[in-house]
Amino acid sequence: MSNSKRKTVLNYLRDTVFKGISVAGGYNFDVVDVERGIREVDSLPNSSFPAIFISKTVEHRKNITVNQFHGMIDIIVFGIVKKRTSSLVGLQEDLDDLIEDITKALEADRTFGNRVKWMEITGIETDDGDRDPFAVCAVTVSLVYCSEGVTP
């Protein structure tokens, strides 16, 4: 059985869009850990940072035909950086660099390899500041896709 269009889109985001983030590719970071879902940050080894988690989704669907629909989905992407030194100074700047990398990767492939009709970043929220050994952002990615026949 083939994957649903929804699953295909979300896995493409994980396996292609974000896995391509590397210093060699012109980004600020080498992102190694990209996952669907989210894990306890303290359980991750230092080598996992920065990390990107494709977490919560909110989807609305509108029928086109009996077995085809438009899916309008908001995807919450969490980006997490960890302090690199004993000082917390610069942690928020590292987070800004990760936000830049996430944005650049999304903008480079706005149709997710022709899997979606359109994509836009509709919101970015960050944590309160350099108080913890981690800094976190939540990037909301909105997109529209169309199902293909009987496999939604």
pLDDT over 90, % of the chain: 61
Domain map (residue ranges) of the chain: 5-146
For 31-52, the pLDDT digits (tens) are: 989 999 988 888 888 889 999 9
Three-state DSSP at 23 gives helix
Query: Looking at residues 5-29, what average pLDDT do you find?
Result: 94
Give the pLDDT score at 1: 41
DSSP state of 148: B
Where are the strands (E) in the chain, listed by range?
A: 33-36, 51-65, 68-82, 118-126, 134-146
44-84: per-residue pLDDT in tens? Answer: 888 899 999 999 999 998 888 888 888 899 999 999 998 87
- Tell me what pLDDT residue 64 has: 85
Looking at the domain covering 5-146, what would its CATH class be?
Answer: alpha beta
- Residue labelled with tokens 């997490």: 80
> Residue 33 has what pLDDT?
93
